Structure 1
Amino acid sequence: MGLFDNAVPGGNITKPLMIALGALLVGKMLSGKSAEQPQEAPAPAPTPAGTTSADGGLLGGLGGLLDKLRDAGHGNVADSWVGTGQNQSINPGDLGSALGPAVIREIAQRTGMNEQELLQQLSTALPGIVDKLTPNGQVPQQHQVASAFNS
C-alpha cells in the first residue's frame, strides 16, 4: 500500500480497515472495490443525516473528519495528527462519539466488523494515517487523498 506501510503500529493494514478508512476519507472506493463483500450491493449506501455526499467519504473527506473531531472537543488531538510533532492518541469511545453512531454503524456494515472492533482499529490507525496524509502540516485536497488510497 506504499504510503500507509508504516502508518499503523505493526505496519499491517487489513482490507476491512482500508475499507473503513476509505469510507471516512474518500467514499467512492467502497462501491467498486468491495467485491469480497457479497452481502453488500454495489449501489451507493444512503448518506447518514447531517453528513455530506459519498464522494468525499461519509464525513466529507479528511477535512470533514478533522472538523468532526474538533467539534467534539478533540481538536488538539486532530491537530497533533496534522502537525509535524508527536501524534496524540484517541480513545475508541471518544472517536465513536465524535463520528456519531450513524457513521460508525454504516462503516461497520460495510466492513463486516463489529462496532467496537472497528473503533479500536480506527483509533489505532487514524493518527498515523492522517499524519501520512498531511505532510508538512497541510491538509491535502480531496483528490490527493483519494489518489493515496488508489496507489
Structure 2
Amino acid sequence: MGNDLGSLLGGLLGGQGGKGGGALLGALLTSLGGAGTHGAGSNPLGALLDTLKEGGLGAQADSWIGTGGNQEVTGPEVAQALPYQALDHVAQQAGVSPEEAADELARTLPAAVDKLTPEGSVPEGSLEDLIRRQS
C-alpha cells in the first residue's frame, strides 16, 4: 500500500515534493496510520498531524491545514517531532539516512497537507480517496 500511496502523493504534488517526497510521505503515513493510536481510522493524515502537533509543530501544521500561507519547517524540526522508529523505518525503505528523510519530508509536508486539506480541515474518508479527489 505504501508504494501506491507514494505514487498518488507524488502525482498530487506534481514534482513539488522533490526527489522521492511522495514515496517518503506515503511510507510515513502508512507507518503512523498503522498504529491506530490517534483514532484516524482509514485516514492516517489525522494521525500524522496529531503526531507533529504533539512533537511541537502545532503552529506549522495548523498553517498547512488552514487556508492562509504555509509556514516552513526544517528537517531537524521534523526529526524531533516524529517518533524515531517511524522516521528510521521510512528512511530505510527509501534507502536514505534519517536526516535526509527528515529534510525531504520538511520540503514535502507543507504542500502535501495544504493540498489534502483544501477546506481548512482534515476531510473524512480514506487518504487514497482524498488524493484522487484533489488530483
The residue aligned with 1:130 is 113
TM-score by length of 1: 0.68
Runs of 4+ more than 6 Å apart: none
Matched length:
119
TM-score by length of 2: 0.75
Q: Partners in 2 of 1:19 and 1:2 — Cα distance?
A: 10
Q: Partners in 2 of 1:119 and 1:113 — Cα distance?
A: 10
One-letter identity of the residue aligned with 1:20: L
Give the conservation status (yes or no) of the 8 Å contact 2:60–2:72.
Answer: yes
Q: Greater share of helix residues, 1 or 2?
A: 2
Q: Partners in 1 of 2:53 and 2:88 — Cα distance?
A: 21
Indicate the SS of the match to 1:97: helix
Following superposition, the deviation at residue 13 of structure 1 comes to: 4.2
Q: Partners in 1 of 2:21 and 2:125 — Cα distance?
A: 19
Unaligned runs of 5+ residues in structure 1 are 28-46
Give the conservation status (yes or no) of the 8 Å contact 2:18–2:104.
Answer: no
One-letter identity of the residue aligned with 1:106: H
Unaligned runs of 5+ residues in structure 2 are 1-9
Name the Cα RMSD after superposition: 2.7
Q: Partners in 2 of 1:2 and 1:69 — Cα distance?
A: 24
Instruction: Please identify the structure whose Cα radius of gyration is greater.
Output: 1
* Percent identity (aligned): 37
Q: Partners in 1 of 2:47 and 2:77 — Cα distance?
A: 16
String of CA shifts for 1:14-50, please: whole Å, max 9, x gaps. Answer: 3x3222111122x2xxxxxxxxxxxxxxxxxxx68xx
The residue aligned with 1:91 is 74
